[in-house]
Amino acid sequence: MAVDNFIVSARKYRPATFETVVGQQHITNTLKNAIKNNQLAQAFLFCGPRGVGKTTCARILAKTINCTNLQPNGEACGECDSCRAFQNGNSFNIHELDAASNNSVDDIRSLIEQVRIPPQGARYKVYIIDEVHMLSQAAFNAFLKTLEEPPHYAIFILATTEKHKILPTILSRCQIFDFNRITVDDMAAHLASIAAKENISCEPDGLHIIAQKADGGLRDALSMFDQIVSFSEGKVTYRSVIDNLNILDYDYYFNLTNSLLAEDTANTLLLFDEILTKGFDGAHFISGLSDHFRNLLVGKDAATLKLLEVSEGIRAKYLQQSQSASVSFLLSAMNIANQCDLNYKLSKNQRLQVELALLKMCHLPSVFNMGSMPAAMPDNNGQLKKKPDTPTTAPVSKPQTPAPAVSMVSEDQAPYIAAKSVEAIGQKPVQEPSSPVVNAVEEEKPKVFIPNLKSAGTSVKIPSLKDIAKTADEVAKEDDPYIKGTAKDDFTFDAFLKEWNTHAANIKAQGKMNLFTIFISEVPKMLKPYIFEIVVGNKIQEDLFKSEKPDMLNYLRTTLRNFDIDVITRVDEQMVVKRPYTSQEKFQYMASKNPQLLELRKRFNLDFD
């Protein structure tokens, strides 16, 4: 009994017209219009990844331009002598050359000799040169003249996967067409149409997996499709695809994510052990887990759902699980998985590297749980990051002595000055000490950013001999440092603190760090309208503050338009505390304020640096 020879799907269903080309409509439409309008260039360059239709489009173009019965839609008829000769493979007017095996100067010279012979019974003579980037430098140079000024009947179609290897002089002589990777949806639809023609039962999820595995190449997808059809005896299912192609099942990632969200470390490690037992590589697993978290993050917003290149069934699972995973968890888990992926190949114990990453992910839900969220958490670089203060709206009936706003200052870290204010500050002016402005001093502290600026040291003014000879009264009169004025505009305490912090920033920019420390260590306390008090730790700080007082008052009075403003100092040596300087001292100080930091450091094995 005669047995028909098997033809792989990539050849059997190779497109024969522009309409049947998958996923390259921008190129096929351009070529059809050029044929209809008789605007064909002498050389074309088709470039793009493998399996996207470069050589196929070149053959269709070669057949179409020689068709004697061109259809109104710009397609070849497929019935004329030229079309039948092309389909039978015996056309004398279409020549294909593989540049990978014919890349020498002699091969190009032979081609040039053939170009001199006119076509036989056709309008054009077409030369298709595949993998043209494999030509040698000398071959390219020998081809330049003919490519730029060929006979009117000669058309060259070059195809390559590596356009960057082609000489710029060749590129400038060609019309360049960039082929796109074929999308997952287009590829899955094409596979479904082939399955229907071959009477093969298939599941959409299985076809989507094949399309994703092909990475934009239709030829690869058709090869895998044939392989799975043979493996499953004509039934392409989701299970048969992942078993045959050695692909990690989606269910593993969904179940693993549920365990991570539930902080079930035992089940997480058991699932990973099962994955390794089935022969999957740890690097492949952690890369797939990163993609899974990415898809969950994409599924949280309706505007980004189109980025999910999965079937409808898997898309529904992603949408469901994305509702139970917070954005903070997904971002942190992706960061941990990315770091694990980067360190995997360098690790001597690769399994432990992945397990450690999974254990870190297991403890993320408790860290980002708003009900028990600690005051500090690790950022993307693993450093402790302060939790934002929760604003309070509870009224405060009695004013209290404000605590130091900032307990430590570093030039290398941009400090924040916590200014005491409330919503009522921006509404009522300063009237009396018992006004709501004073009572509101204990509410939330808005943070004002002080830029980390540095400059040279301060200058000292040396008096001249003329000044020494003057009387004390004359000197006092001429050297009065205060600006005079009569304005007495009302202002809020919040406005006062804003200008106070602005002046502190100017001090830091001048390099007066000792004075800057005094300004940010204590928030001024209002004694009565327009009179404020600042507490210092010793006499030296008091003298230092008094030296700055004229410039400070001149700035505050002119900015706030009130020349009754005054700031007095009070020495309170009991307020002097040892300030933490080392990383360990700073952590111990923060842990005394919030003991949950100790548990956080223990869980993530954080270091002080």
For the chain of 609 residues, list the mean pLDDT of each consecutive stretch of 10.
67 84 87 86 89 88 86 82 84 85 86 86 87 88 86 90 88 89 87 86 85 84 86 81 80 90 90 88 89 89 80 83 88 91 88 91 74 43 44 43 40 37 38 41 43 44 51 54 82 86 87 81 83 84 84 87 87 62 77 83 77
Cross-strand partners of 535: 570
- Element housing 378 (H / E): strand 376-378
Q: For the segment 394-446, what is each residue's pLDDT rounded down to a tens digit?
A: 444 444 444 443 333 333 333 333 333 333 334 444 444 444 443 433 444 44
Summary mean pLDDT of the chain: 77
Can you point out the beta strands (E) in 502-585? 525-528, 531-536, 566-571
Copy the structure tokens of residue 510: 């001048």
Q: For the segment 324-350, what is each residue's pLDDT rounded down to a tens digit?
A: 888 888 999 999 999 999 988 888 888
Question: Is residue 292 within 8 Å of 248, Cβ to Cβ?
Answer: no
Quote the CA–CA distance of 560 and 508 in Å, as a whole number: 21
**What phi and psi values does residue 310 have, to the nearest 5 degrees?**
-135, 170
pLDDT at position 473, please?
53
Quote the CA–CA distance of 329 and 377 in Å, as a whole number: 12
Other beta carbons within 10 angstroms of residue 304's beta carbon come to 11
Quote the CA–CA distance of 511 and 515 in Å, as a whole number: 9
Domains and CATH numbers, the chain: 9-178 (3.40.50.300), 184-244 (1.10.8.60), 250-373 (1.20.272.10), 416-575 (3.30.300.180)
With 0-12 / 13-18 / 19 or more C-beta atoms within 10 angstroms meaning exposed / middle / buried, residue 158 is buried
Quote the CA–CA distance of 609 and 607 in Å, as a whole number: 6
pLDDT at position 381, please?
44
Q: Which DSSP string do the residues of 179-212 spell out, in sequence order?
A: PPPPPHHHHHHHHHHHHHHTT-EE-HHHHHHHHH
487 half-sphere exposure, CB direction, 13 A CA radius: 13
**pTM of the prediction?**
0.53
Alpha-carbon distances, residue 358 vs 279, 286, 363, 396 (angstroms)? 19, 9, 9, 46
Give me the sheet containing 125-130, strands edge to edge. 94-98, 125-130, 154-160, 43-47, 175-178
pLDDT at position 420, please?
37
pLDDT at position 103, please?
81
pLDDT at position 368, please?
63
Quote the CA–CA distance of 546 and 558 in Å, as a whole number: 19
Quote the CA–CA distance of 434 and 430 in Å, as a whole number: 10
Angle subtended by helix axes 137-148 and 105-115, to nearest 10: 20
Quote the CA–CA distance of 452 and 450 in Å, as a whole number: 6
Quote the CA–CA distance of 347 and 358 in Å, as a whole number: 16
Other beta carbons within 10 angstroms of residue 592's beta carbon come to 10
Quote the CA–CA distance of 588 and 189 in Å, as a whole number: 62
pLDDT at position 471, please?
52
pLDDT at position 337, please?
92
Alpha-carbon distances, residue 84 vs 81, 89, 252 (angstroms)? 5, 8, 53
Q: Can you tell me whether residue 302 is helix, strand or coil?
A: helix
Quote the CA–CA distance of 351 and 474 in Å, as a whole number: 84
pLDDT at position 515, please?
81
